[in-house]
Amino acid sequence: MYKPTLFFSLGLLPLLLLIQAQFVLADDVDPRELGRRMFLEGVLPSGKSMTAYIQGDVKVTGEQVRCGACHRRSGMGSSEGQQVVPAVTGKLLYNPLRIPTSRPPAAPTLRPAYDDETLKAALLRGVDANGAALDPNMPRYLLTEGELDVLLGYLKGLSSEPSPGVTETEVHFATIVSDRLPKADRKALLDVMRVFFQQKNTETRYESKRSANPPWHKKWIMGNYRKWRHHVWELKGEESTWPEQLAAHYRSQPVFAVISGAVNGDWRPIHDYCEAEQLPCLFPTTDLPVDSDQDFYSLYFSRGVILEGEGVARYLLNAEPERKKIVQLYNGTDRLSKSAAEAFATQLEKAGVVITSIDVDAGGGDVDSISAKGWAGSVAVLWLSHEALQPYQPWLEGKNGPEQIYLSTTLYRDRASSLSEGLKERTRFVHPHELPSRMRRLLVRSTGWFRAKRIYASDHQRIQANAFFALKAAGDAMTHIRGYFFRDYFIERIEHMVDNAPYTSVYPRISLAPGQRFLSKGYYIARVAAGERGRLVPIMEWGAP
C-alpha cells in the first residue's frame, strides 16, 4: 500500500510529492548494516543513491548527502571555525539538549528531546524538535517511511555504549613490539611509555577523589577521569602467526587503543587485525605502513619508503628537463628496498618514462654485468643499505658510472660521510624527516622531558620522539572526548586537533584532515655540504606531492 505525503522545503523548492513505499526486509538482511550504508555511504536499502535538497532547491545525491560526511562516523558531530555540526546519536537526540550552569536546580533546556516523529520531520522538512528551521545546508531527504525507520534504527544504536577497554575507573592501552626489534630500540620505546603512564597516573590534583565526588555542575568534566593502564603486546616468531597472537592478547585484556609500537618489519598483519577489530592504532614507528583509502583505525606518521620512491620520481620528472637513462637497483628480498623500488617505477611509468630495474639479489646485479650495459651519463637510484652498496662502488666511480646517484637515508642510514669525495658531488639523498642538523631545535620539547626523566637515548631519537607524540596526541584526545569513550570519536578528535599540535616529532610539518591517515606528506632532496664530512643540506626544501 503506498501512502503519499506532501511536504514543503525552505527556499525555492516547489511542492513535492514523496511516495513512501513500504518494504519488508529479507530474513538474512541486517537492518543495522542497511542503516550504516545510508549513514556512511549515502546508499538506500534498495541499493540506489540517497537524494536530498540543500539551500532550498539544490539537488544532491549519493556521497554528497551521506550523514557521516558532516556528523562523522561516530555520529558525534564536528566543527570548523564557527560552524558546528551537532551530534546525531540516538542517546543524545532522544534526550533534551542542556548546557552546564552554576545555577541550580538544573541546566536550561535548549531543545526538547526528539522522538521518532520529530526526528523524521527534521530529516524530511528540516525543522528541529522546537519546530525551528535547521541550517539550509542540512539536507532535506527524500526518504520513504521504511527507509526512515532503517536510518533511525541505526542512529539509536550508534555510539550508545563505551568501547571495549574502558571501565568505570580505568582505560586500557597497548603498545606492540616484536621479538625481532633490537633490544636498544625496545628499551628506548618502552621507557617513554612506562614513564609517561606513571606520570599520567600520579594524581597530583587528586583526580580519583574529585571524580568520585565532583561538584554537580562540574561532574561532566571531573566525573570522566580514568587511570591509564599500559600493556605491552609482544609478537614472536613468524608474521603469519601474529594475528592469532594479537587476538590472544586482546582476549586476555581488551584495550581501548594501541599507542605507538615498532616491530622491525612489515606492519600489515597488525594493521589488518586492528581494522578488523575496529581498534585504533596510533602512530607506530614503521617504514612499511599500509596505504589504504578504505581503512579508518590506523594512523601513521608517514607513508615511509613508498613516499620516498614517489618523491625521487617526482623530483626527477620536475628537475630534469633532459631525460636521461634511469636505472634502479634494489634488493628483492628486502621489503623496504622492494617497496621503494616499486613505488618509484610506478610513478615514472605513469608519466611514460621507461626505466631499468635490477634486482641485485636475483642475478644480473653483479658489477661487471651492470658496467657492461653502459650507464655512463645516466641516473642511478639505489635502494640499498650501506653494506649492500659497497660492491657497486667501483662501478659508481668508474668511467661507465652514472652521472647522478640517488640514495635513501632510510636504507643507507647516516653513512653519507663514508662516500668518496667524487661520489658526494654526484649523490642526492631523499630524506623523509627533518634534517639532522635541524633536529635538535625540533625535538627540544621532547628531549628536555626525556632528560628530566633520565630516559634519553640519543641514538634512538626517532622512536622516542614518535612515542612521545603518540602519547601526547592520545592524551589530548582523551581530554576532549569528555567521557564519550567511543573509539571512532577518539580518532576523529585526533584528526581535528593534530594541525594545532605544538609538537611534530621528527617531521617539520604535520597535518591530518578527516579521512587522511598519514601525518607527514613531505620529504627533502638533499646533498652533502661541500667541504664537510656528511652534513646534509637541502637542494629541495621540504616538499609534498
Q: Radius of gyration of the chain from Cα atoms?
A: 28
What is the per-residue pLDDT for 12? Answer: 34
Residue 515 placed within a domain: no
**What average pLDDT values come out for the chain (545 residues) when binned by 10 residues?**
35 37 59 96 96 94 92 93 89 85 62 96 96 94 97 96 95 98 98 97 74 68 84 97 98 98 96 98 97 94 97 90 85 96 96 93 76 84 95 88 95 92 93 95 95 97 98 94 94 94 94 94 94 88 81
What is the per-residue pLDDT for 16? Answer: 38
What is the per-residue pLDDT for 25? Answer: 55
- Say if residue 214 is in the same domain as residue 188: yes
- Say if residue 291 is in the same domain as residue 412: no
- Say if residue 131 is in the same domain as residue 208: no
pTM exceeds 0.85: yes
Residue 177 placed within a domain: yes
Residue 134 placed within a domain: yes
Residue 512 placed within a domain: no
What is the per-residue pLDDT for 534? Answer: 83
The last residue of a domain, from among 131, 157, 183: 157
The last residue of a domain, from among 135, 157, 179: 157
Residue in the block written with cell 667524487: 422
CA distance 68 to 151: 12
- Say if residue 136 is in the same domain as residue 47: yes
CA distance 294 to 221: 34
Kindly list the distances between the CA atom of residue 315 and the CA atoms of 308, 340, 526, 533, in Å, as whole numbers in the listed order.
Answer: 10, 15, 11, 25
Residue 73 placed within a domain: yes
- Say if residue 387 is in the same domain as residue 528: yes
Residue 165 placed within a domain: no
E strand residue ranges, 212-255: 227-235
- Say if residue 180 is in the same domain as residue 294: yes
What is the per-residue pLDDT for 375? Answer: 84
Residue 537 placed within a domain: yes
3-state secondary structure of 10: coil
- Which long-range contacts (C-beta less than 8 Å, at least 24 apart) are formed by 405-409? 405/379, 405/380, 405/381, 406/312, 406/379, 406/380, 406/381, 406/382, 406/430, 407/382, 408/305, 408/308, 408/340, 408/383, 409/536
Identify the CATH number of the domain in which residue 369 sits: 3.40.50.2300
- Say if residue 51 is in the same domain as residue 133: yes
Residue 58 placed within a domain: yes
What is the per-residue pLDDT for 1? Answer: 31
Name the grid cell of 213: 565526588
Domain that holds residue 484: 170-302+440-505
Name the grid cell of 337: 628496498
- Say if residue 536 is in the same domain as residue 402: yes
Kindly list the distances between the CA atom of residue 190 and the CA atoms of 173, 198, 243, in Å, as whole numbers in the listed order.
Answer: 13, 12, 22
The last residue of a domain, from among 96, 122, 157: 157
Residues 6+ apart with CB under 8 A from 493: 476, 477, 480, 481
3-state secondary structure of 235: strand
Provide the domain count of the chain. Answer: 3
- Say if residue 312 is in the same domain as residue 420: yes
What is the per-residue pLDDT for 10? Answer: 36
- Say if residue 74 is in the same domain as residue 132: yes
- Say if residue 310 is in the same domain as residue 296: no
- Say if residue 264 is in the same domain as residue 320: no
